[in-house]
C-alpha cells in the first residue's frame, strides 16, 4: 500500500513535508514523491509519474495541491496511534467511562473495572466540524505563540536587566576597592609616621634612662671610694649627687 511508502522528515511535526516514491523505494532509492495515484495506491516522484501516466493513461494522479486525496502518512499514523503513557504501544481501545484513549497496557493497569471499554474501530466518530476544530486549534496555537513570544521577550529583558545590574555591582565593587586602597594607603602612611614618632620618643627615653643610671652609678661608686679620705672631693660628690637626684626625680615625675 502507498501508506507504507510515506514518511515524514521530522517525526511528529505539524505538517507532512515529504512522501517517498513507492517505485524508487522498491529499488532501495529514497526519492521525494510529488504525485499519488488512488487506483495504484502508490506515490511517485516526477520521473516515475511520467512512466506511470504513459502506462495508465486512465488513472488520475494528485499533486501537492491536492494533499487531501493522498493517504495518511505512516509517521502521522504512528504519531496519532502512539500511547503517551506506554511508549511504543498502539492506542486500540476507548474507555467511555473516562473518555480516554487506551492501549492494552492502559486497560490492564487502569481500566479493568470500567464498564464501557470498546475497540476504537467499533466506536462512532463524534459529529464534529473539522474546520471548526481546526480553527479552534489554530486559535489556541496563536495564543500559545503570543504567550511564548511574551515569555521570550521577558527572558531577554531579564537578561538585559541582569547584565545591567552585574555592571553596577562590578562598578560598585571597583569603587569600594579604590576607596579601600586609598584608606589603606592613608592609614599605612599615618601608622608609619606614628611609629617613627613613637620610636624616636621611646629611644630618647631609653637613652635618657641609661644615661641617668650611668651617671648615678658613677657618683654612687665615687662616694663609696672617697669616703672620708678627701673632704673637698666628698663635698663635690655630694653636691653633684643632690643635683643629679633632682634631675632624676623631675624626669621620673614627668614620665
Instruction: Report the C-alpha gap between 44 and 51 in whole angstroms.
Output: 10
Alpha helices in 84-129 (DSSP H): 104-110
Residue 213: pLDDT over 60: yes
The average confidence (pLDDT) of the chain is 86
pLDDT tens per residue across span 2-61: 443 443 333 333 333 458 888 898 888 888 888 999 999 899 998 999 999 999 989 999
| 120-128 long-range Cβ contacts below 8 angstroms, 24+ apart | 120/91, 120/92, 120/93, 120/94, 121/92, 123/94
Would you say 61 and 44 are in contact if contact means Cβ atoms under 8 Å apart?
yes
For the chain, the straight-line distance linking the first and the last C-alpha, in angstroms and rounded, comes to 117
Instruction: Look up the pTM and report it.
Output: 0.46
Query: What is the fold of 83-126?
Result: Double Stranded RNA Binding Domain (3.30.160)
Q: What is the pLDDT of residues 21-32, one digit of tens each?
A: 888 988 888 888
Distance CA 20, CA 24 (A): 8
Q: Quick one: pLDDT at residue 127? A: 59
Yes or no: say if 43 and 33 are a contact pair by the CB < 8 Å rule.
yes
Contact 31, 46 (CB under 8 A): no
Per-residue pLDDT of 87-140, as tens digits, reads 889 999 999 889 899 999 999 998 989 988 989 888 776 656 777 888 888 999
Q: If you write DSSP's letter for every residue of 221-251 in order, what string do you get? A: HHHHHHTTS-HHHHHHHHHHHHHHHHHHHHH
Q: In DSSP terms, which residues pair with 242 in a beta bridge?
A: none
User: Cα 209 to chain center, whole Å?
Assistant: 71
Amino acid at each position: 500500500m502507498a501508506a507504507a511508502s510515506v514518511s515524514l522528515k521530522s517525526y511528529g511535526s505539524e505538517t507532512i513535508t515529504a512522501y517517498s516514491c513507492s517505485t524508487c523505494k522498491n529499488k532501495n532509492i529514497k526519492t521525494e514523491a510529488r504525485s499519488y495515484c488512488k487506483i495504484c495506491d502508490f506515490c511517485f516522484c516526477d520521473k516515475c509519474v511520467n512512466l506511470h501516466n504513459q502506462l495508465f493513461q486512465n488513472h488520475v494522479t494528485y499533486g501537492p495541491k491536492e494533499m487531501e486525496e493522498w493517504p495518511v502518512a505512516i509517521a502521522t499514523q504512528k504519531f496519532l496511534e502512539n500511547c503517551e503513557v506506554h511508549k511504543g504501544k498502539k492506542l486500540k481501545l476507548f474507555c467511555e467511562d473516562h473518555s480516554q484513549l487506551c492501549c492494552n497496557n492502559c486497560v490492564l493497569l487502569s481500566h479493568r473495572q470500567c464498564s464501557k471499554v470498546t475497540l476504537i474501530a467499533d466506536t462512532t466518530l463524534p459529529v464534529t466540524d473539522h474546520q471548526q476544530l481546526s480553527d479552534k486549534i489554530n486559535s489556541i496555537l496563536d495564543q500559545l505563540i503570543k504567550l511564548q513570544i511574551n515569555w521570550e521577550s521577558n527572558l531577554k529583558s531579564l537578561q538585559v536587566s541582569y547584565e545591567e545590574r552585574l555592571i553596577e555591582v562590578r562598578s560598585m565593587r571597583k569603587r569600594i576597592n579604590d576607596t579601600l586602597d586609598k584608606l589603606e594607603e592613608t592609614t599605612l602612611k599615618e601608622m608609619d609616621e606614628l611609629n617613627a614618632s613613637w620610636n624616636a620618643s621611646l629611644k630618647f627615653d631609653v637613652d635618657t634612662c641609661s644615661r641617668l643610671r650611668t651617671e648615678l652609678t658613677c657618683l654612687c661608686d665615687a662616694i663609696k671610694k672617697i669616703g672620708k679620705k678627701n673632704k673637698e672631693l666628698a663635698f663635690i660628690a655630694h653636691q653633684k649627687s643632690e643635683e643629679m637626684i633632682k634631675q632624676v626625680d623631675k624626669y621620673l615625675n614627668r614620665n
